Amino acid sequence: MKTKLIAEAHQVMNWMKGYAASSGRKSWVVGVSGGVDSALSSTLAAMTGLPTHCVMMPCQTRSDQTNRGDIHIEWLKGRFSNVSKHCIDLTRTFEAFQQGTTFDYANDLAYANTKSRLRMVALYQVACVNDGLVVGTGNKVEDFGIGFFTKYGDGGVDISPIADFLKSEVREMCKQLGVLPELYNAVPTDGLWDDTRTDESAIGATYDELEWALKFSEDKFDPSVVLTPRQQEVLNIYMKRHIAGAHKLTPIPTFLRNATL
């Protein structure tokens, strides 16, 4: 598996270089959160040799997450001369928005999504200044399984290098590329809430369980397989979120004037 994943890492890197060349862009912009997904995406970007702008965007963010992001970027800078660090603190911007919407539009989930969308705006600001492409950090379960991302937030990117890799593969690829253990062992969290909730507690299933559900659903629900009560529960969670997130996973519906009905 080691040889396979390292080979695939280089395939992704070459694919990224080819895309940048064909698009005429000169650099990468990656939001670094302190988690394993952004760690891998930023490492792959750095491996291309193109200028890689790693952006931290605290927004009422816990210190343990920002500390891991700092540590990872410093590790990248020590290995790659093309990596630079940026920090755009969005806390005051978000709080001003929150204050202006408190009475009529206050909603915790909407505010969490707003934080993600503010980060997208910040990344494209950096990208515009540096003639860059914004690099996505979503893995396969999040991007194609349950739609666990914010539309026009962390889903608003130019290129998705790890969206066909499972979380377990992301962790293992990070490990094999030498990424620091505190990144690939970190408990997954989107950092959008002011409490200690994790991705897995919010979803109701672990990433390993969700990977099983994704693979099982791709096998067209083999009727000969007898599921345990927990497997059925996980499959229900997966399918409910997959259906609810379908609008994120498909192109924007467009009315075609001359289409045949």
What's the 3-state SS for 82-146? CEEEEECCCHHHHHHHHHHHHHHHCCHHHHHHHHHHHHHHHHHHHHHHCCEEEECCCCHHHHHHC
Q: Can you list the domains of the chain with their CATH numbers? A: 2-249 (3.40.50.620)
pLDDT tens digits, one per residue of 185-241: 888 776 677 667 788 888 999 999 999 999 998 876 667 788 999 999 999 999 999
Q: Residue 2 has what pLDDT?
A: 64
Tokens linked to 154: 């962390």
Q: How confident is the model over 85-143, as pLDDT tens digits?
A: 999 999 999 999 999 998 889 899 999 999 999 999 999 999 999 999 999 999 999 99
pTM of the predicted model, to two decimals? 0.92
CA distances from 129 to 25, 97, 155, 196, 199 (A): 11, 25, 21, 35, 33
